[in-house]
């Protein structure tokens, strides 16, 4: 049977950008900037994106497109059947776990979109909105229902295939997402007092930068670019051999960065305009912002737009993670697409349900001192993701043949710009990226 693939350059690009742009940009990036010293963090983040993450992204791209297989088979076949396939298996399992808890937060976005439509953010006091959030997350049923809805939509899109589902959805939703986030950013800048938020984002304070904030910046860059999860590899396996890997990778990294910055501009000036604390951590989007919406002119409409954006961003990312497992089950376990999606739906739903309940009825259950949600988040987003990225870049830099990488990166020597920069890329893949990842990761643990 012929393998499904992306139908056009633009389709592949928006799907890749859709995977990258997600909760990480709209939810995580603004609060991490807030916690880690504003612009200084952004500068380090940008350096990491281009010096470390882009070479890793390209490495994943090469592995996926070279093999034209799922992540497990890509490692197995390119390494000639060696133990590297276990790395491949890890990159299949991690996104399954992440989809599970990512879908819980996606479910929160569903609930908050519903709340925006029903004009729930009209409280005079922030404490009322804070309580609304904790009441919601700690209740057993509502978050579970929202998680189920989010995951079903994810599975439904993936079941329609690469061209007919993932690509089609991304082609419509990514431009819409851009327009919405841009519009909110512009509006946010018009609020009086917003300049303090802009200063906060763009005036660097390097005294806040230490090993921990560097580790946070790198972790965020990995997460935001969907690295170490087999996702880029899987999507790349559906990209046409004629496409330019350098162009597709750079365009994805730049769009992801742009979205993160625009999200920062959408959020921070508004937070400052109402004299609120920018460092409110994960609660920024679900506690601080709804309060901001309740106070600003036309806040009801802005709330609806914001939560539509959050939801769309989350879905275009969750489908990319979901596809990693689906591709594996179809190609390695010979399942039909619909059977593969059903199996994964059941697995992700169950793990996600545990994560969802860990904010309420299961909050006493501790794994390594954390609740279930934090445990999975820490294990996959901090440790396994970094490990996956490190092993992938080592695989490409030290296990694959240089001629093979050259051939894939330059499309058989036909893209002259790529021929010229190959030397630099090779150096970054072989030395800079692995060393930098190891150093930042370890110093973050020790600090």
What residue ranges bind ligand PFF (CB under 6 A)?
19-20, 22-25, 95, 98, 223-224, 226, 229, 231, 317, 320-321
For ligand PFF, the closer of residues 60 and 130 by Cβ is: 60
Smallest gap from residue 278 Cβ to ligand PFF (A): 20
Write phi, then psi, for 319 (nearest 5 degrees).
Answer: -65, -35
Q: How many residues does the chain have?
A: 447
Q: How far is the CB of 309 from ligand PFF (least distance, A)?
A: 12
Min dist CB 224 to ligand PFF, Å, is 4
Provide, rounded to whole angstroms, the least separation between the CB of residue 303 and ligand PFF: 21
**Residue 135 Cβ vs ligand PFF, minimum distance, rounded to whole Å:** 26
CB of 105 to ligand PFF, least distance (A): 9
- Give φ, ψ of 230 to 5 degrees: 75, 0
Q: Which is nearer to ligand PFF, 19 or 100 (CB)?
A: 19
Measured distance CA(224)–CA(387) in Å, rounded: 16
User: Least Å distance between CB 234 and ligand PFF?
Assistant: 9
C-alpha atoms less than 13 angstroms from C-alpha of 389 in its C-beta half-sphere:
32
Query: What's the rounded Cα separation, in Å, for the pair 129 and 147?
Result: 21
Residue 64 to residue 323: CA distance in whole angstroms: 13
What's the CA gap between 281 and 117, in Å, rounded?
25
d(C-alpha 189, C-alpha 213), whole Å: 27
| Helix or strand holding residue 77 (H, E) | helix 71-78
**Residue closer to ligand PFF, measured from CB, 23 or 239:** 23
| Nearer to ligand PFF among residue 6 and residue 223 (C-beta) | 223
Measure the N-to-C terminal CA separation of the chain; round to a whole number of Å.
Answer: 52
Cα(38)–Cα(196) distance, rounded to whole angstroms? 12
Instruction: Please write down the long-range contacts of 441-446, taking CB distance under 8 Å and 24 or more positions apart.
Output: 441/215, 441/218, 441/386, 441/390, 443/211, 443/214, 443/215, 444/211, 444/212, 444/214, 444/215, 444/216, 444/218, 444/219, 445/215, 446/211
User: Given the complex with ligand PFF, which of 23 and 54 has the nearer CB atom?
Assistant: 23
Nearer to ligand PFF, 20 or 284 (CB): 20
CA separation, residue 129 to residues 113, 124, 137, 276, 308 (Å): 14, 9, 13, 14, 19
Rounded to the nearest whole angstrom, what is the least distance from the CB of residue 95 to ligand PFF in the complex? 5
Count the Cβ atoms, other than its own, within 10 Å of residue 414: 10
Do the Cβ atoms of 144 and 353 come closer than 8 Å?
yes
| 379: nearest Cα among 41, 46, 96 | 96
Which C-beta is closer to ligand PFF: that of 22 or that of 397?
A: 22
89 touches 24 (CB < 8 A):
no
Nearer to ligand PFF, 189 or 347 (CB): 347
Closest separation between CB of residue 314 and ligand PFF, Å? Answer: 7
Select 32 or 340, whichever has its Cβ closest to ligand PFF.
32
């Amino acid at each position: 049977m012929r393998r499904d693939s992306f139908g056009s350059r633009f389709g592949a690009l928006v799907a890749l950008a859709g995977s990258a742009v997600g909760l990480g940009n709209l939810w995580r990036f603004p609060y991490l900037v807030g916690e880690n010293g504003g612009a200084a963090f952004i500068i380090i983040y940008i350096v990491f994106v281009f010096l470390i993450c882009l070479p890793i992204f390209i490495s994943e791209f090469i592995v996926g497109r070279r093999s034209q297989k799922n992540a497990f088979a890509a490692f197995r076949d390119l390494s000639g059947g060696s133990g590297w396939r276990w790395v491949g298996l890890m990159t299949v399992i991690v996104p399954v776990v992440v989809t599970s808890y990512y879908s819980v937060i996606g479910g929160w976005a569903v609930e908050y979109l519903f709340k925006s439509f029903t004009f729930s953010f009209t409280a005079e006091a922030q404490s009322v909105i804070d309580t609304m959030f904790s009441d919601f997350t700690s209740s057993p049923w509502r978050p579970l229902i929202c998680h189920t809805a989010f995951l079903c939509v994810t599975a439904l899109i993936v079941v329609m295939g690469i061209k007919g589902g993932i690509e089609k959805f991304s082609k419509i939703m990514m431009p819409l997402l851009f327009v919405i986030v841009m519009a909110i950013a512009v509006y946010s800048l018009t609020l009086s007092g917003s300049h303090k938020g802009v200063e906060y984002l763009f005036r660097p304070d390097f005294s806040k930068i230490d090993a921990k904030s560097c580790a946070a910046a790198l972790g965020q860059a990995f997460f935001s670019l969907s690295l170490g999860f087999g996702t880029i590899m899987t999507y790349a396996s559906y990209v046409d051999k004629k496409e330019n890997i350098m162009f597709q990778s750079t365009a994805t990294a730049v769009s992801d960065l742009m979205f993160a910055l625009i999200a920062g501009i959408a959020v921070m000036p508004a937070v400052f305009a109402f004299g609120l604390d920018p460092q409110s951590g994960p609660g920024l989007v679900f506690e601080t912002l709804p309060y901001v919406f309740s106070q600003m002119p036309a806040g009801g409409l802005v709330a609806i737009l914001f939560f539509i954006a959050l939801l769309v961003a989350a879905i275009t990312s969750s489908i990319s993670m979901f596809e990693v497992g689906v591709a594996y089950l179809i190609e390695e376990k010979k399942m039909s697409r619909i059977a593969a999606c059903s199996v994964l739906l059941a697995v992700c739903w169950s793990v996600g349900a545990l994560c969802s309940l860990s904010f309420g009825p299961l909050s006493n259950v501790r794994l390594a001192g954390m609740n279930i949600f934090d445990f999975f988040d820490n294990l996959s987003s901090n440790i396994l993701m970094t490990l996956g990225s490190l092993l992938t870049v080592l695989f490409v830099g030290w296990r694959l043949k240089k001629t093979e990488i050259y051939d894939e990166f330059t499309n058989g020597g036909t893209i002259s710009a790529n021929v010229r920069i190959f030397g630099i890329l090779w150096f970054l893949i072989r030395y800079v990226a692995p060393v930098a990842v190891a150093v930042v990761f370890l110093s973050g643990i020790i600090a």
